[in-house]
Amino acid sequence: MRNPLALLPPVQWSALRHADAFWPNLLLLLYILMSLVVSVLLMATSGWAGWCLGVLMMGHSLIVSAYLIHDLTHQTLFRHPGHNARLGRCLAFLTGACYGEYNELRRKHMRHHVERTDVVAVDYRAWLERHPLVRRIVESLEWCYIPAVDLIMHGLVMVAPFVFSDDRHLRVYTGTMLILRLSIFALLIVYQPAVAAGYVGAQLLMIHVLRLMDMHQHTYDVVYGSVEGHERPDAEYERQHTFSNPLGESVLANLLVLNFGYHNAHHERPTAPWYRLPALHRELAGPQEQTFALADVLRNLHRYRVARVMGGPDKTDGRPGFGGLYGVSFLTTL
């Protein structure tokens, strides 16, 4: 299928890192803005059907905003790191990823690539082991498809500066973000409660989709805190423990998540922008066993949704680690 963007006149802008970046990213940013405006209007003025459509539209705008943040952490849009960071901070405020400083969010994700591990600051599993009642509550919520583990990890980012001494320097920043976002949310509850409820629904939808895509993409070691003493694996280890999970063969379906399912291609060339990943995936033509079908991912998402809280099975369907992993979102700094 011919790329429809090829019909648009080429635009060269020296601020962009890639010569073909103008139209894909301009259209993406316009889509995010339009979806937000229309979704708010639908939720504020329509009946139940319009409200539900508004939640879906807002949820999708948050999803693609999150994946654009991922691209920005790899400096794929602008040449100057500061430009990527400024847009990243705006989108982080929109998606609720703003309670940890953007540079820390980026640093954590870069560690994932450089050290070839899933780096998490807090071992929530060990904590749940010590608190069996909380564990049962979390597992019950996950059974009901409420993303309790990821909500805990996002919540930890909010409270970390007030609990952990290592994060005390972020108290003013995190406190400011909390006051600002909670004030906006309080105003919505008072004047537009339907929009406030819709934003909560959109946030939950975003978390569900992001972790659906995340949970089967690696069978890396999980390292809690410092990686000191952890031997850094080589590139071959990265290839063997990285998996793709595209949303079928449809171009439009994969654009719903900015091609994030082409994860092997992303790890081979982390600075390749989101719109080039399908072609790079075809070019690499990796082994079929490194690609999961969407049906397999959805089946395992359902089957191991409770077991995954404490780590899940090491092997399912004959593949190591296909049970999946919670709590490794690139939107959290812990």
How do residues 150-175 score in pLDDT, each as one tens digit?
A: 999 999 999 999 998 889 999 999 99
Task: Annotate 125-152 with DSSP letters as a single string.
Answer: HHHHHH-HHHHHHHHHHHHTT--HHHHH
Higher pLDDT, residue 233 or 22: 22
Which among 13, 8, 11 has a CA at the least distance from the CA of 77? Answer: 13
User: What percent of the chain lies above the pLDDT cut of 90?
Assistant: 68
Question: What b/e sequence results for 3-20 when a residue is b if at least 16 CB atoms lie within 10 Å of its CB, and e otherwise?
Answer: eeeeeeeeeeeeebbbeb
Give the per-residue pLDDT at 2. Answer: 58
Give the per-residue pLDDT at 325. Answer: 86
When the pLDDT of each residue in the chain is averaged and rounded to a whole number, the result is 90
Length of the chain: 334
Q: How far separated are the first and last CA of the chain, in Å rounded?
A: 41
Query: How large is the average pLDDT for residues 62-70?
Result: 98
How far, in Å, are 22, 80, 332 from residue 12 at the CA level? 7, 16, 34
pTM of the prediction? 0.93
Which among 242, 266, 267, 270 has a CA at the least distance from the CA of 254? Answer: 266
For the chain, the structural domain boundaries read 4-311
Q: Which two tokens stand for residue 47?
A: 């009946």
How far, in Å, are 73, 123, 307 from residue 69 at the CA level? 6, 25, 30
Q: Which two tokens stand for residue 196?
A: 């406030």
Question: What does the pLDDT look like over 272-315, one tens digit per residue?
Answer: 999 999 999 988 875 566 888 888 889 888 999 999 998 866 55
SS3 263: helix
